[in-house]
Structure 1
Amino acid sequence: MDAHSTWKPLVITPADIGAEAAPDALVGHLRGLDDLGDLLVAEKALVFRGFRVSPAELDDVMDLLLPNRLAYVHGNSPRTKVGRNVYTSTEYPPAYTISMHNEMSYAHQWPSRLLFFCDRAAATGGATPVVDGALWLESLDAEVRAAFADGVRYAQHLHGGKGFGKSWQDTFETDDRADVEAFLGDTGATYEWTRDGALRVSQVRPSTAVHPVTGTEVWFNQADQWHAAGLGDETAAALHRIMPEKDLPQSVAFADGSPIPARYITQVRDRGLAAAVDVDWRTGDLLLIDNMLVGHGRRPFTGHRRVLVAMSD
């Protein structure tokens, strides 16, 4: 088997570094590292387990792992902001799987690092699956890779405060249209305001990306999450009965505007999940990932799981 097919995150425990099981020990270890970036690129994902980190110590740890914490501006997932650019992980109902994706791969700019913190583990399930992006790309049929070669066109319909999906105010963390226009003006996206105060945004992005350090090409788009077929046949049919595609909160097509076949979408979704490795959470765990080299998702769960996320460039 090749290196991609045997990959899994590196787990670091107090015993691995000869330290006590305490947040201060993790902070001290991180301060002593001069090659965290190199380590993350080499391993793609790091799990810090057994250091008994609580929300009270989280900022100290985050400041070392995320050198420039970013706001979730133009993010499409439902989240709640709970701290200084710290958010709840995606707030989809616990019964559903969240398919593999790289955070904000649809956007003009995306975070290079993501950090997840388990404030409360689920009663059952709730793992965060992570997938090697190169393996995901290799797992797809040649027909699918060729079809996506020119990229994808993402479209958003963001209501003005009342409607289906996210509002443009929540998406851009502002209620000032000028701020939104200034942001979008630097992205290459096209946009228009509708008569009812909603915002339509369209942008063409690549389907793959090349990591700036390793030179590795990875699958790097969210077509399966933006396409109705990625939600399942019944859900897709229900959405199209309710509203036309242009009014869906988000939709996707090939770069030239032609539709993406549903069978391509389900292949991308299913093979990403099949190639993933589960990170099973314990309360106090942290997971740091290179957001280009690794995609992530969520398994279904029961109980009151609470995982926080922050990101950095």
Structure 2
Amino acid sequence: MPPPPGGGGRRRLADGAAVLRDLPTALVERFERHGWELLRTHNGPVGVDWQSAFATTEPAEVERYCRENDIAYTWAADGTLRTRRIRPAVRRHPGTGERIWFNQIAFLNEWTMDPAVREYLVFEAGPDGLPFNTRCGDGSPLDRATVDLINEVYEAHTVSEPWRDGDVLVVDNLRTAHSRLPYRGERRIAVALADPVTVSRS
């Protein structure tokens, strides 16, 4: 790995089991009962187009993938693709049996956007045209207070370290939420995935 970037870029890691323990019981029970819903819009004002997201230029291939992976989809007349999937919010770790808060409910919610960006996107594309959004699995929207609360619990269990030349980081991707802070300058990190785990979508 080359020298660290000009500034920023610290890695951030959070323990999903600890996050689950500190979330309010009523909130956890709600999402265990209904799961969580991810909504994506491809080819909207911003975001990833469906050709890049699905690595194909064939709508039939997109539809096949969606059917095989329990993803609902609709095409708009202008070629915009909207997808909807419902997934469990809490998983059991296959190695330890621990219950883990494993989802992107807060990270991909509209309330995590810069307010000016969110306002512009809602104006341009409507509330259903945001590039991404999350809801409770029963279809009910999330308010800012709920999203802020989840992020506060993540923050309480997050450790953050700068990258140094030669660092190697091994992450349990099921148990550990991971992110990075913004950075300046060049930043190149090699990533490899190993020991995949297949988990039920129910």
TM category (shorter chain) comes to 0.7 to 0.9
Could you tell me how far apart the structure 1 residues matched to 2:41 and 2:3 are?
34
Could you tell me how far apart the structure 2 residues matched to 1:241 and 1:199 are?
19
- Structure-2 residue corresponding to 1:63: none
Aligned pair 1:305/2:191, yes or no?
no
Q: Closer, same or farther in 2 for the Cα pair 1:231/1:163, shift >3 Å?
A: closer
- Aligned to 1:286, the other structure's residue is in SS state coil
Q: Closer, same or farther in 2 for the Cα pair 1:209/1:182, shift >3 Å?
A: same
Aligned pair 1:127/2:6, yes or no?
no
Listed as ranges, the gaps of 5+ residues in structure 2 are 197-202
Deviation digits for residues 43-96 of structure 1, max 9, x if unmatched? Answer: xxxxxxxxxxxxxxxxxxxxxxxxxxxxxxxxxxxxxxxxxxxxxxxxxxxxxx
Deviation digits for residues 242-294 of structure 1, max 9, x if unmatched? Answer: 32121111111111111112111111123212311123211232212111011
58, 74, 94: which one aligns with 1:176: 58
- Structure-1 residue corresponding to 2:20: 137
Decide which moves more: 140-149 or 216-225: 140-149
- Structure-1 residue corresponding to 2:38: 154
**TM-score, normalising length: structure 2:** 0.86
Preserved contact between residue 151 and residue 205 of structure 1 (Cα < 8 Å) = yes
- Aligned to 1:179, the other structure's residue is in SS state helix
60, 70, 74: which one aligns with 1:188: 70
**Could you say which structure has the greater relative contact order, defined with CA pairs below 8 angstroms and 6 or more residues apart?**
2
- Structure-2 residue corresponding to 1:246: 128
77, 87, 103: which one aligns with 1:205: 87
Listed as ranges, the gaps of 5+ residues in structure 1 are 1-117
Q: Closer, same or farther in 2 for the Cα pair 1:140/1:234, shift >3 Å?
A: farther
Q: Closer, same or farther in 2 for the Cα pair 1:190/1:181, shift >3 Å?
A: same
Preserved contact between residue 153 and residue 255 of structure 1 (Cα < 8 Å) = yes
**TM-score, normalising length: structure 1:** 0.58
Q: CA deviation at 1:173?
A: 1.1
Q: Closer, same or farther in 2 for the Cα pair 1:172/1:138, shift >3 Å?
A: same
Preserved contact between residue 45 and residue 124 of structure 2 (Cα < 8 Å) = no
18, 35, 48: which one aligns with 1:166: 48
- Aligned to 1:226, the other structure's residue is in SS state coil
Counterpart residue identity of residue 36, structure 2: V
What is the RMSD computed on CA atoms of the aligned residues?
1.9
Could you tell me how far apart the structure 2 residues matched to 1:267 and 1:120 are?
36
Could you tell me how far apart the structure 2 residues matched to 1:265 and 1:237 are?
17
Preserved contact between residue 123 and residue 303 of structure 1 (Cα < 8 Å) = yes
Which of these two proteins has the greater Rg computed from alpha carbons? Answer: 1
Q: CA deviation at 1:210?
A: 0.7
Could you tell me how far apart the structure 2 residues matched to 1:242 and 1:308 are?
37
Length, aligned pairs only: 194
- Structure-2 residue corresponding to 1:39: none
Could you tell me how far apart the structure 2 residues matched to 1:119 and 1:309 are?
14
Q: Closer, same or farther in 2 for the Cα pair 1:253/1:211, shift >3 Å?
A: same
- Structure-2 residue corresponding to 1:260: 142
